[in-house]
Structure 1
Amino acid sequence: MEYVWRILEDTPWWVWVLLVVLVHRGIKALRPTTGPLWRFAIIPVIFLAWGISSLVTDLGLTGLSVGGYLVALIAGIGIGWLMGAGLAVRADREHGLVEVPGGPSTLILILVIFAVKYTIGVWLGMAPAAAGETWFILVDCGVSGLIAGMFAGRFAQYFRKYRSAPQEDLSAAA
C-alpha cells in the first residue's frame, strides 16, 4: 500500500486537475447538452494536446512515434466519425448553439484514456528506458492517437450536423 501511496504522491498536481476537469465534462455529457459549438471541441483539443505533449516530452519526435500516432489518430477519427453518425444534433445557428444527445461514451472514453495514460506515465517513471522500446512507443502512441481521433471524429460529425440541421431556437436551453 505504501508503494501505491508513493506513486500517488509523486503524481504532478496538474494531472489531478486534468482528471477533475475531464470527469466533470464526462458527467455533463451523460445528459443532452446545449452550448456553443466550440465547447464541444474542448475534449478533442485536450486529448490532441496531451498526445502531442507525450510525443515531445516522453517519446521524442521519431518516425516511429509520429507515424504511430498519426496512423492511430486517423483510425480514431474514422471510428469517431462512425460513432457520431447516428447522433441527432439540433442546431441554432442564429445564437451559435448546438444540442447533442447525452450518453456514457464520453465518460467511459475519458476514464479509459486517463487510466491508460496514467499507467504509462507511472511505467515511464519506474522504467524510463521503456520509452525507447518499440512496443511501448506503439502502445503509447496508439492509445493516445486512437482516443484523440475518436473525440475529433465525433466532433467533426457534430460540426457537420450542426451546419446541415434545421434551424431551431435553443437559446432557452443554453
Structure 2
Amino acid sequence: MIDIIKHTPLWVFALFAGLIVLGVKQTRAREVTLRSVCVLPVAMAGLSVFGVYSAFSGVIALAVWFVCLVLGWGVARQFGLPKGVRYINEQHVFHIPGSKVPFILIMAIFFTKYCVGVMLAIQLAVTQSTEFMVIVSAIYGILSGIFLARGLQILQARNNQIDLQPA
C-alpha cells in the first residue's frame, strides 16, 4: 500500500484535496449561480467518461457508461428535487441546502478512477476482462447519471419558481 501511495503523482493528491474542499462545500447550505449549478455535474460526468475512455477506449465501454448514465439519471429522478431548493429570482441564484450526496458522489468517482488507475498500473490480470470493463463503466455511468439528474432537478427549481410568479 505504501508503494502505491509513493508512486502516486503529486497532482493526484492536489486533485483529491481540491475535491474534498469542493465536496465539503456541498454539505453546507449555499447560494449558487446558474453556471455553478451546471459546472459540477458536467465536470464530474467528464471525469467519469474520461476514466472509461482512458482505461478501456472502446465503444462497448462507452456504450455501457452511457446506458448506465441513463439508468442512474432515471433512478435519481424518482427521488425528486433535493429538498428545500429555491430559485431566488431577484438575485438570480439558487438556494441549495447542504447535502452529503454530492460529496459521496465526488469521492466515489475519484476513488473509482484512482483504484482503476492503480490496478491498470500494476497490470492486474482482472483489468483485461470484459466483466471488469463492464463493471467499471457501469459504476462511472451510474454515478454520472445521479450527478446530472441532481443538477437538472436543481435547475427545475428555477422553472418552478418562474411558473409560480404572477404575470
Contact 2:52 2:140 in 1 (8 A): no
Distance 1:86 1:43, change over 3 A: closer
Of the three residues 129, 142, 159, the one matched with 1:163 is 159
Q: CA RMSD in A?
A: 2.1
CA distance in 1, matches of 2:100, 2:46: 23
Letter in 2 for 1:75: L
CA distance in 1, matches of 2:150, 2:82: 10
Letter in 2 for 1:31: R
Letter in 1 for 2:158: Y
Q: Deviations over 1:45-89 (max 9, x none)?
A: 222111221232210122x20111011100111233234435221
SS of residue in 2 equivalent to 1:165: helix
SS of residue in 2 equivalent to 1:85: coil
CA distance in 2, matches of 1:115, 1:23: 12
Indicate the residue corresponding to 1:98 in structure 2: 94
Report how far residue 94 of structure 1 moved. 3.9
Of the three residues 48, 55, 78, the one matched with 1:82 is 78
Number of aligned residue pairs: give it.
163
CA distance in 2, matches of 1:73, 1:51: 10
Letter in 2 for 1:103: S
Contact 2:37 2:155 in 1 (8 A): no
Report how far residue 43 of structure 1 moved. 2.5
Letter in 1 for 2:17: V
Unmatched runs of 5 consecutive residues or more in structure 2: none
Unmatched runs of 5 consecutive residues or more in structure 1: 168-174
TM-score, normalization by structure 2:
0.86
Contact 2:48 2:109 in 1 (8 A): no
Contact 1:90 1:166 in 2 (8 A): no
Indicate the residue corresponding to 1:61 in structure 2: 58
Contact 1:89 1:98 in 2 (8 A): yes
Q: Deviations over 1:26-45 (max 9, x none)?
A: 11111211010221223212
